[in-house]
Amino acid sequence: MPAIALVAAGARLGLSLGRIFGGHGFDIALIARSKERLAELTEKLATEGVKAAGFPADVTDRSALAAALDSAAGRFGGIDVLHYSAPAAGNSEAARSTAALDVTVNNLGPQIESICYGAITATRTVLPAMLAAGTGTLLYTTGASSVTPAPVFVSAGMAGAALRKWALTLNGALADKGIYAGHVAIGVWIAGTPGAPEGAPLKQPDDIARLYWDLHTSREPADHLIST
């Protein structure tokens, strides 16, 4: 069976991605820091008949992240699709409150480490096998501030913009090698996410997950913004 590695996907989107790809015959490798969350997600997917396994790793620990992906590839016979959901460093309130005048080298550095360097590490771990096979899909998720400047989330948006630029350039570099790279910026709140402001635009996680399946199968566009 083909396999997808879901790196640092939030609980709701991760479950939906596992459900959607699993429903199309994929095995699911889940990679996140929390062993408890991994166990919960794999159990929920198992009840829906989806084969999944968790591999604990912090995306800022590059050697641990690479080892987790190698373990997942060994468990499932390879990784056909990589999804990297760029997690902002620190708590969400701190990331949200960072305005342009608040950006410093000190608070930008952790965002670059988590959002960019983690994605590069994950990609370079799975890409050699994809190149050898002549096929594969690389999917990256950021927030909308990576595309549209916002008065908050500035440091995370800067790191996300760097990841987006690299993903789009990567897609062009891999186009003739059978590998598709796509970037999705999520500009809505995922339904059920704690702390969503009243009246904020919401989208169901299964609907978002179906978009990733469509990108994997159609291989276009390379860049997508979810704004409504």
Q: What is the CATH number of the domain that holds 89?
A: 3.40.50.720
Band of the pLDDT at 150, cuts 50, 70, 90? confident
Whole-number Å distance between alpha carbons of 17 and 22: 8
pLDDT in tens, 179-204: 999 999 999 988 877 777 777 788 99
pLDDT in tens, 63-107: 999 999 999 999 999 999 999 997 788 666 666 668 899 999 999
**Percentage of residues in the chain having pLDDT higher than 90:** 82
Model pLDDT, residue 81: 98
Whole-number Å distance between alpha carbons of 12 and 190: 8
Band of the pLDDT at 146, cuts 50, 70, 90? very high
Cβ contact 44:14 at 8 Å: no
Q: Which domain holds residue 66?
A: 3-226
Residue with more model confidence, 9 or 127: 127
Residues 6+ apart with CB under 8 A from 145: 152, 153, 154, 156, 157, 160, 161
Number of domains in the chain: 1
Q: Describe the crossing of helices 118-133 and 62-76 by its angle, rounded to 10 degrees.
A: 30
pTM: 0.95
Helix (H) or strand (E) holding 85: strand 81-85
